[in-house]
Amino acid sequence: FLFVEDIDFSIRIRKAGYKIYYLPEARIIHHWGGSTSKHMTRSIWHHHISLFKFFQKYRHIRFPMDVIWFSCTVSHFLLWFITNRLLRIARR
pLDDT tens digits, one per residue of 24-77: 999 888 777 666 656 677 777 787 788 778 878 877 766 666 677 777 778 888
pLDDT at 70: 76
Please spell the DSSP secondary structure of 27-66, one letter per residue.
----SS---SGGGHHHHHHHHHHHHHHHHHHTTTSSHHHH
The predicted structure's pLDDT at residue 58:
79
Task: Give the predicted TM-score (pTM) of the model.
Answer: 0.54
- At 35 the pLDDT is 60
